[in-house]
Structures are given as C-alpha cells and as structure tokens.
C-alpha cells in the first residue's frame, strides 16, 4: 500500500500494491513470512507473472532508493484506468507539459502525474496550508462533539439526558469522512449532495473489489456507489469556483492543472473521486482502532485523558503542538495502532534486471515489499510484535527510525498525508476524552481485523465486528 504515487499522492495514506493478485492476501503473506523468514528475496508466480517478495529490511530500503530500474508509474496507470479514467486522461497525466502553459511552478517540466505530488506536499507538509487544513478539521470536530449533536445522530441509541450509545466504527467514520470532505471541498459539497458521505462509505467497504479488478457483474454494488460519488463531485465541479465557497488550496489548484490539459468536468470528477477516496479511507479506520485499543484498557483512558489535559489550557479547543510534543503516551499509542493495523505493501515494476539481496530480479516482473510483515519483525519490535503494547514506542523512540518501520511507505513515494492523518486522529481522541466519559457498552469483544482483503492503508474490521460505546458529558 503505497500512496497512489504521483497522480494520486493525493491520497492521504499509503497504498497497497495497486492491483493485488487475490492469492496474495495478508494471511497468505504471513504464511510466506513464517516459512521463509525475513531473509533473502523469494519469488511467487501468479497468473504467469513473477512477483519477487522482499522481507529483509535492508533489501526493502535498497528497493525504495532505486529510481532507475524500478518503477511505480505502470501501476499508477492501471489504478487510474480501474478507477474510471479514460485513455486520454491517462495519457495526458503522463505527457510532458508545454512549459508556456504552466500554472504551478514546474522548473523541471514534470507531467501532472509527477507534479501532483508537489502540489499535495505544498498542502500537506508543515506550514500555513497544513495549519489551515487542520483548522477545518478542528472546527468541524468542535461543532460535532456536543452531546446534542451526538444524541441526534441517526445511529445513536439508548439516548437519555445524560448518556448516548454510539456504534464506534460508524460514528468515527461519519465524523471523519464529513470532516475530510469539508476540509478539501468546503461546506458547499454537502449542500449539493447530502448523501455523498454515505455513498462513499458504501463504496469504501467494497474497495477490495477495485483492487482485485472485479468485473461489474460481480461488483454491482461497488460500481453503483462509486458512480454516485463521481456524480456528486461532477455537480460540484460544474459550479464556478468562486461560487463553491472556501476549500483547501489543493483542490482548485489540481482542478486548474487538469483543465489546463483539456479535461472535461467528468474527467476532473473521476480524478478527484480518487482523491476523495484517499483522504477519507484511512483516518476513519485509524481512529476506530486507536479508540478500540484505548477503551479495552481503562487505565489508558485515564492516562491519555490526564496527559492531554494541558492541551486545553485555553478552553475546549486543544493545542496541537502540545498534543504532539508533550503527550508521549498518546503519540506512542498512535504509532503502535498504525503498526498493527496498516496493511502496507509497496510494489514496483522491474524495468531492467536488478540485483537486490544477492538475487537477480528479472526485467518485466514485479517486486513487492509487504511492509506489514516488516512491522512484525521480532528482531526489531520484540517477540511480542504481534500484540498491542501501548508502551512499545514510549519506551523506545528509536523504533521510528528503524528500517522495519514503514506505515506510510518509503522512498520518493512516501505518503505526504502522514502529518494531517496523525493530527486529525489525535485531535479527535483528545477532544472526546476531554469532553466525555466513555466506556464500552455491551459485550467486551475486541473487533477482528479483515486480513483477507487489500485496502489503501489501514485494515477495516470484519463485517459485523464493531464496538458500542457509551458517552456521558464530563462534569467540569
């Protein structure tokens, strides 16, 4: 799972191998790892194509650094086609642009498929644009996290004057998707299509069918949901920019670059649907898993609540700098959560025979780095690497510099959205723990991760596995 590279580095997490052979599920890769160990590269043949698997951290680093004989562009093209882009769009995205028509500074005259990454880095790397984007998330959370609003949610149950019960997965998904939509597209998109976030959530639950390239007759629900999202975005982009209200800097910048290449409104909507997918699929899941781990240990609920209190010195709006710099347990739990929940596999196309780990990887095949397997490397993370340990990163911050730590991919395609993803989730967690007392309602059964299907970054819970949480306003 690596960000859909250049074009789609737009995505706010890491992306799996673009199109993954169904034989290579997470569970099958775990079996391979247990058999071969984190040793030399090994090969698997799937549908007449050889796939070289790298499980040794040093081999993985070597592959990430190789930009001459290993390429990611071919997989980006395939994802664009699978997502609905025409051959005209795919060609234009990789075509060398006319320097006389440049909009965004492009001194190296990169095609938009490459320039898109720089556009997103400008939006998502630390600085004023990121601060502005985070501010939208913060404002949305502040409006959403009131007892009245939560009690009025369509999925709320057992509502009284003092408490409300919410399904954790649906609640975190609803809030995160709506917040991400408003951050990137502004509030007007919700007015144009009030069902868009729910259509996307339905699509997102079926996206493994996209990655497996299911035909329409086997994935009609996924295609219908995807087309609804594209239709909503198309109506949005039909409206003149000045009438849409405030959005992120990135959205109109990317639109201008695409229209400069002759893209129709439908073409723009298809490409931006991929962006919508990227910014919303992983933060909701990361938030769900982080809350799940915290709630199953009441001591963590108290610890994180107390540790983050200082971030609210000026009221109910937390200081993100305090949360990131003065809350080591909160940050450690974030790292441990994504270590366990990220299904991260980077893929490259082999352009020329390449030697890695003493083995010759032959031209025309693919190389895959299953980063999730690196996260279970016992020599790095300990013999309990398969278990959640809240103090793992708190006790050893050097793990963040390990060759085995790759939740956001690596090399030139490392995910640019890693900063806003973390900030949005820890803001969510800190604000809820500050405003409410919460506990698990009903059966205490930890949700199981769906390890059989590929995703764009963070695994979902198995169908039907959710937690009910009871929230009560805190007395201050």
Binding region for heme: 415
Alpha carbon distance 433, 424 (integer Å): 14
Q: What are phi and psi of 367, to 5 degrees?
A: -120, 140
| DSSP state letters, 433-457 | HHHEEEEEES---PPPB--SS--SS
Which 3 state secondary structure label does DSSP give 461? Answer: strand
Alpha carbon distance 68, 177 (integer Å): 38
**Neighbouring C-alpha atoms within 13 Å toward the C-beta of 419:** 16
Looking at the DSSP bridge assignments, the partners of residue 53 are 42, 368
Alpha carbon distance 446, 442 (integer Å): 12
Alpha carbon distance 473, 147 (integer Å): 7
Cα angle, residue 261 at apex, residues 255 and 262 outer, rounded to 5°: 90
Alpha carbon distance 123, 132 (integer Å): 9
Helical H segments across 45-167, by residue range:
57-65, 73-82, 87-94, 112-124, 128-144, 147-151
In terms of DSSP bridges, do strands 42-46 and 345-350 run parallel, antiparallel, or are they unpaired? unpaired
* Binding-site residues from annotation: 415
Tokens of 422: 């973390």
Alpha carbon distance 409, 415 (integer Å): 7
Alpha carbon distance 243, 423 (integer Å): 30
Comparing CA positions, the residue from 333, 291, 277, 286 lying closest to residue 166 is: 291
Is the distance from CB of 326 to CB of 310 less than 8 angstroms? Answer: yes
Q: CB count, 10 Å around CB of 325?
A: 10
Radius of gyration, alpha carbons of the chain: 22
């Amino acid at each position: 799972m690596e960000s859909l590279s250049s074009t789609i580095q737009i995505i706010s997490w890491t992306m799996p191998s673009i199109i993954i052979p169904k034989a290579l599920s997470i569970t099958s890769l775990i079996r391979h790892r247990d058999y071969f160990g984190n040793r030399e590269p090994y090969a698997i043949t799937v549908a007449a194509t050889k796939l070289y698997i790298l499980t040794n951290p040093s081999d993985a680093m070597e592959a990430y650094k190789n930009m001459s004989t290993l390429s990611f562009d071919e997989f980006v093209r395939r994802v664009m086609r699978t997502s609905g882009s025409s051959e005209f769009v795919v060609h234009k995205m990789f075509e060398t642009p006319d320097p006389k028509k440049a909009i965004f500074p492009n001194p190296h005259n990169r095609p938009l498929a490459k320039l898109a990454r720089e556009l997103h880095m400008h939006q998502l790397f630390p600085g004023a644009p990121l601060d502005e984007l985070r501010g939208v998330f913060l404002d949305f959370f502040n409006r959403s996290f009131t007892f009245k609003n939560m009690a009025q949610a369509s999925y709320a149950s057992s509502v009284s004057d003092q408490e409300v019960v919410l399904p954790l997965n649906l609640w975190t998904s609803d809030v995160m998707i709506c917040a991400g939509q408003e951050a990137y597209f502004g509030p007007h998109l919700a007015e144009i299509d009030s069902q868009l976030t729910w259509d996307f959530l339905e699509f997102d639950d079926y996206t493994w069918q996209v990655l497996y390239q299911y035909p329409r007759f086997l994935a009609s629900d996924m295609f219908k949901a995807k087309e609804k999202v594209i239709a909503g975005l198309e109506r949005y982009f039909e409206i003149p920019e000045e009438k849409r209200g405030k959005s992120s800097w990135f959205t109109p910048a990317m639109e201008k670059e695409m229209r400069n290449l002759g893209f129709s409104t439908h073409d723009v909507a298809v490409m931006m649907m991929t962006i919508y997918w990227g910014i919303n699929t992983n933060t909701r899941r990361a938030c769900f898993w982080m809350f799940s781990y915290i709630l199953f240990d009441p001591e963590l609920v108290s610890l994180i609540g107390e540790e983050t209190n200082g971030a609210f010195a000026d009221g109910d709006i937390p200081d993100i700098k305090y949360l990131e710099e003065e809350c080591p347990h909160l940050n450690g739990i974030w790292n441990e959560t994504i270590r366990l929940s990220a299904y991260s596999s980077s893929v490259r196309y082999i352009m020329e025979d390449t030697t890695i780990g003493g083995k010759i990887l032959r031209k025309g095949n693919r190389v895959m780095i299953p980063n999730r397997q690196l996260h279970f490397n016992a020599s790095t993370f300990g013999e309990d690497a398969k278990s959640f340990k809240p103090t793992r990163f708190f006790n050893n911050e050097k793990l963040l510099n390990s060759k085995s730590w790759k939740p956001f991919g690596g090399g030139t395609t490392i995910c640019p959205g890693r900063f806003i993803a973390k900030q949005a989730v820890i803001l969510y967690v800190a604000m809820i723990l500050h405003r409410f007392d919460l506990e698990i309602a009903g059966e205490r059964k930890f949700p199981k991760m769906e390890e059989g299907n590929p995703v764009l970054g963070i695994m979902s819970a198995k169908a039907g596995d959710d937690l009910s949480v009871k929230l009560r306003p805190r007395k201050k």
